[in-house]
Structure 1
Amino acid sequence: MVVLAGALIGLAVEYHILGWSSIPGNSCGGRYSPCPEGTGPTLTLAFVCTFAGIFGAIGAIIWFTGHRPGKVLPPALLAAGALLVLWPGWQAFLWMRGPVLDLAWTAVPDRPATVRGLGAWTVGEDARTVVRARGDALIAYDSRDGDRRWVLRAPVRESVCGMSDTVVDGIGLVAFGRHDKPCDTVWGVDVRDGRKVWERDVKGVTLYQAAADGLLAADKGVAVAVADEAVHGYGLADGAPRWTTKLTEPKNVEPTDDEVECEPEAVSAAGGTTRVVVNCETFLDFRSAWLVTLDNTTGEERERTRLPVESPIDTATVISAEPFSLLLDEEDERGVSAVLSYSGSGGDPVQIPLTADEEDLQIGQASYGEGFLARPALTAVVRGEALVVAATRPGSDAVERVVAYSLRDGQRMWHADLGTSVVALAPAGDGELAVFGANQRLWTFDAADGERRGESDGATVREVAGHISGIGQLIRADGTWVFVNSDGDNYPPVLAFRP
């Protein structure tokens, strides 16, 4: 009896310590700052064991001393019971808590405070280095400890206005422009050491915001940059000019007496080809829109497919270079607003509407024009032949659903309702993806069938409340998860958490 009472007291002390210490900042609760998993049961058991242990110990000692007088043995038995239960109590706490990830490091805030993140790259297969681009510089962080590896400053009075979507053979492309001037200076940057390898001036496109995506692309041996009515190809390693392709409207389109201008809306390169989304207009009227495929070696046109639009393109964002998937939204409210999937067979693309009977797809910054302007952190991931994207249910504004569609036929494959807002999606292992929620939980799904890996409730990410902005990019770096914030003043520009 005395040993049992001691065990209850030991559990009470242990669970009070574990329960209260698990609360970040001594405060939690609510939709956006929930208490860590298991906190409620742990503290409930702590109070139950407290009262049961105290009253049980009093009764047990009275009973024990009535049968065997002495003052030394009862405290010893209480202590023995408390010690014996510590390990089982710890195991029970781990079961109630479930898997957790702890904050590993945070980077120092941005200075000056006015700059904002425009995009991010990873270096190497294990993403040992994460490069965050902001208006005035590229800054590389070690994903293991958050140390700055290098800083590459923008030219005087110029700001970052474009980035390639990928790094190829250690080279990333970044473009700069002056205030209210075209985005016309392109650098090839060795992201392993932050060295500018080459520089080229192009007749850059004029932007209507600080930066834009789809201006640059990189593939094996080639760097691609868009300009007014043209696309330029350069050597990836040395920046040597390779080819220039003028963008024009095909001759089989109905002729007009007005001058037709064909402007590139987005560019992407993969597998030896470059794809360019082209919008052709006269001064007053829309003419046509095309997906033009170029040979990376020569710049010659391989294929041209008419896009299914009848009004100017409002949004054209490449979700995946291979397999090629394009978010396309035209100005006509009754027109195309969908993700287009191209199989490469030359046929009509598969269309996945942004608004369907079951949900509305929410593809992050591409839909709202916020956050990482040069390389958007989309809440959409292509894994194999599946497009996995955040969504809202009909009649709701809360982005609390993740849904997968087949890129082959556009059919809905699976969905999962999380009960919290989706903050970021990221690839995670072979055929898997991770979803980070506003309640500081991380889920892992099989992209093919939506099966949840590990705990169905996901893993709790501790001590990150107040460190995560609503706009950011999640990156898997070996055994660490790195989160890159757009706002690096009110939040850490980069932080990491791991088991």
Structure 2
Amino acid sequence: MTRDGLPGAAFGAAAVFLGAGVEGGAWPTGWAALVCALACGAVGATLLATRRGRAAAPEARDAVPEALGKTDAKPVRPGRSSLVAAALVWVLALLAGGVWALAAGDDDADGTRADARPTAKPAASRHPRPAVAWTVPPAGQKYDEGVGSWGLGSAVAQGRIDGLFAYDGADGSVRWSVPAPAREALCAMSQDAEEGVGLIAYGRHEKPCATLLAVRTSDGKVLWKRALGGKGLAGDERPLAVGGATAVSAEDGAVRARSAGTGRQRWEHELGKDCAALAVDADAGRTLLVEQCGERARLLALDTRTGAREWARDLPVESKATAAVVSLSPVVLAVDEADARGTHAFLGFDNEGAPTVTVPLSGPEGVLAAPVGDGDSRRPVVRDGLLVTLAEAEELVPDVVVAYSLKDGRKAWSYRAENQTMTLAAEPDGRVAVLENHDKGRILLLDRVTGRVDARIEPDTAEGVALSIHPELVPVTGGHVVLNQILMQAEPAAFALR
């Protein structure tokens, strides 16, 4: 190629690469790059040769090699060499195009790519939409209500009216079950299982919830069973807890602690006359008990191993109330009084029982969700000095996630969801998971410090998966399980998103 043709060819090659990078977001490779470069190089060379030929034509007709003294010499044509160069480039481009076509045909025939190097993929391919890994068919009749769940790492246990069922987190198969006896229903279960043991209870129709069982979570074996006297488990909440190796239950007239492994009683805290246990929770070191006597209520801290009283604190209550232990460490209660002007708040306490913070259940952020009052089972997340819960800001359903500092009660952050927010869960990595009633149901993962959305997880099915009015969200290994705890319109009992 001559000096005259080189600039045009170089310009053409540069143009195709620049255009491909801007338009397609990726550089052409292999035969595609070669054909594009040669074709545009040929175009550039042709244009340059044509321009030079036209510019030089008048001078060429008059030019005579006067130094030689010849009058019959042919005129010089300066654009001819550029045209020859352009023609050569065109030939090379056509040959390369033919080879490319043959190679592409071979690739299509055997289903392989000529260029196997990784290329940029669309965002949907890099981050595929999570799939509904499995579903469990509806169980029971319309309006049947479950009583709770346990996250077991690679599995989840669901307390249904017909018994306790553990689903494998990978495929939804039933690892084990503890079916309810004939004509009995599951009526209570501990909020959590500890050291591989959880508590459940059964009762007959319109009879006390009075049969207590300890279940080993690895295989569903019933470790022991006790028939409770009197009215069985106390109150509508029927509080049960496992703290370390101790099983704690609020029963008729007393709170009793038993060995989680054998059922042997360890201690008993008698309730006074006209007193009732409103809430109980425990860890290995401390048991928290909220008891109400008449119109007065107090919070007691007991040693889980011995039952010895550590401290007691009167609560700001002057009428009948409901209460729940939201967190054992730090100590956080939810209290809701019958008196409209009474206490309706989250209450925080230090390790000695001194009040630290009050977060009203109704305020600038709306009505906060709390496991007290009219059977609201949605529990807040307490982590790293924050209380995170749902709020009804403008609608009759919660649509905001809000976090409060447990140091001073001030709002730390809030997140307004696009749709109804159903429930919360604490992620193993510290984030807060929010189950949102999107068209197909989806999960939002929020940063616990800022409240910003880190990730969205939604089903890949066209029709989505139905949510009932009281679903629970349980993180499991590699994904999440959603449990529909009230059967409304034949929703699945459970389903998993991965």
**Scaled by the length of structure 2, what TM-score is found?**
0.72
2:233–2:252 Cα contact (<8 Å) kept: no
- Deviations along 1:302-330, whole A, 9 cap, x unmatched? 211101111111x2122223322211100
Q: How does 1:100-499 map to 2 (within 5 A)?
A: 100-111=129-140, 115-123=144-152, 127-203=153-229, 205=231, 212-213=236-237, 215-248=239-272, 260-281=273-294, 286=295, 288-313=296-321, 315-363=322-370, 366-369=372-375, 376=377, 378-393=378-393, 395-439=394-438, 440-453=441-454, 455=455, 458-463=456-461, 465-487=464-486, 490-498=490-498
2:198–2:215 Cα contact (<8 Å) kept: yes
Residue 318 of structure 2 aligns with an amino acid whose one-letter code is E
- Deviations along 1:187-231, whole A, 9 cap, x unmatched? 1111211111111222354689xx943521111121111122211
Q: For 2:122, what is the secondary structure of its paired residue?
A: helix
> Using the alignment, how far apart are the partners of 2:252 and 2:492 within structure 1?
37
Residue 263 of structure 2 aligns with an amino acid whose one-letter code is G
> Using the alignment, how far apart are the partners of 1:215 and 1:334 within structure 2?
27
Q: By how many angstroms is 1:136 displaced?
A: 2.2
- Deviations along 1:327-360, whole A, 9 cap, x unmatched? 1100000100011122223212421101112322
- Deviations along 1:1-39, whole A, 9 cap, x unmatched? xx9xxx9xxx9xxxxxxxxxxxxxxxxxxxxxxxxxxxx
Q: For 2:363, what is the secondary structure of its paired residue?
A: coil
CA-atom RMSD in angstroms: 3.4
> Using the alignment, how far apart are the partners of 1:460 and 1:339 within structure 2?
32
Rate the CA distance shift 1:474–1:201 in 2: closer, same or farther, 3 A: same
Residue 140 of structure 1 aligns with an amino acid whose one-letter code is A
1:105–1:495 Cα contact (<8 Å) kept: yes
Q: By how many angstroms is 1:99 displaced?
A: 5.8
- Deviations along 1:378-413, whole A, 9 cap, x unmatched? 2521122111111122x4324211100012221110
**Scaled by the length of structure 1, what TM-score is found?**
0.72
> Using the alignment, how far apart are the partners of 1:142 and 1:191 within structure 2?
12
Q: Mean Cα displacement is larger for which, 397-406 or 423-432?
A: 423-432
Residue 400 of structure 1 aligns with an amino acid whose one-letter code is D
> Using the alignment, how far apart are the partners of 1:241 and 1:309 within structure 2?
32
Q: For 2:306, what is the secondary structure of its paired residue?
A: coil
> Using the alignment, how far apart are the partners of 2:223 and 2:233 within structure 1?
25
Rate the CA distance shift 1:459–1:122 in 2: closer, same or farther, 3 A: closer
Larger Rg, first or second structure (1 or 2): 2
Identity %: 33
> Using the alignment, how far apart are the partners of 2:241 and 2:337 within structure 1?
23
> Using the alignment, how far apart are the partners of 1:186 and 1:151 within structure 2?
16
> Using the alignment, how far apart are the partners of 1:460 and 1:155 within structure 2?
38
Bigger relative contact order (CA 8 A; separation at least 6): 1
Q: By how many angstroms is 1:183 displaced?
A: 1.9
- Count the aligned residue pairs: 401
Gaps of 5+ in 2: 1-15, 25-93
Rate the CA distance shift 1:228–1:487 in 2: closer, same or farther, 3 A: closer
> Using the alignment, how far apart are the partners of 1:324 and 1:280 within structure 2?
21
